[in-house]
Amino acid sequence: MAMNYIDARDLLLISGAEAKYFSVKLVLYVLMIVVGISLAFKSGGYYWVGMSLIGLAMAHGVELQHQVLHGSAFLNKRVSHIVGFILGLPMLVSYSSYQFSHLAHHDKVGTEDDVEFFEFNTLNDGQKWYSKVASFLLFSHYVKFLVRVLNSILVREIIVEADEKTNRNIRREYLTMAFFIVVFLAASILFNSYQYFLFWLVPLTVFAAPTHTLIELPEHFGCDNRSENILRNTRTIRSSPLLVWFTNGNNYHVEHHIFPLVRPEKLSILHRKMSVDIVYQNQSYFEFIMESI
């Protein structure tokens, strides 16, 4: 099915790692955080503008992490691992765990065995309102983080299906994330100021978590999840250039599932070729939200 849309030679040109372009994305990501922190130091409305910008950067960072784990950022696996871990650190996302779960999701989407790193099942119609709020704010993600930190301390398997090397990397990453939290808390107590700790906690819980949900919820929500046909079990959302950049091409999710090695900035090329065959697609994120509520 995939090769019906693009010639193999043309596909090769838009696939694989391109470190220079991805480095520009990293610079913009860091700039968002720096500007956000600078504004957060100011009083009044600037504080919340800064906090929101930091939170948006965190959510954007996980989308960049997603590109790294697919191998379309850097050729060097060690560099990918380090950069991927750093990008997921603010939102407590283990690079190795996310990579294992997400690649398995690509293989099993549309089947009963499909389980993603981030679960939004409790946003379905049959759930209570408080379950939906908890899912929207990623409460289960924080609980899973705490459980996995405990299992890492006890040197237990984190993912049963993964090999020992992967589990070892996952444990190391969760312990490192926990270490950073402890250091921030200790510094806050030592210097009698929680300001710096709040520069992470407030953007994470108030802005990054719900933004991440809004980015990733549409991927398969409301689609024909009993079908293994990507054109039916996955959604694409057309969007503005700004949101395509912010979601790092995640809006073109059907195209990504069929061509996972294609760089996010090139997915629009595929969208023009296959749009007519995509069953679930929206003209904007706003349209999707209005259809879903």
Mean pLDDT, the chain cut into blocks of 10 residues (293 residues total)? 82 95 98 97 92 98 98 96 98 97 92 76 64 85 96 96 96 97 89 86 96 94 91 96 97 97 96 96 93 81
pLDDT value of residue 76: 96
**48 close to 203: Cβ distance less than 8 angstroms:** no
Triad 61, 23, 259: Cα angle to 5°: 70
Return the domain boundaries, the chain: 2-9+16-292
Q: Which two tokens stand for residue 284?
A: 């904007």
Q: Is 211 exposed, middle or buried (0-12, 13-18, 19+ CB in 10 A)?
A: buried
The span from the CA of 1 to the CA of 11, in Å, is 14
Question: pLDDT, tens digit, for every residue of 224-275?
Answer: 988 999 999 999 999 999 999 999 999 999 999 999 999 999 999 999 999 9
pLDDT value of residue 188: 86
pLDDT value of residue 3: 63
The span from the CA of 186 to the CA of 192, in Å, is 10
pLDDT value of residue 6: 93
Cβ neighbours of residue 135 closer than 8 Å, sequence gap 6 or more: 119, 120, 121, 122, 123, 127, 213
pLDDT value of residue 2: 64
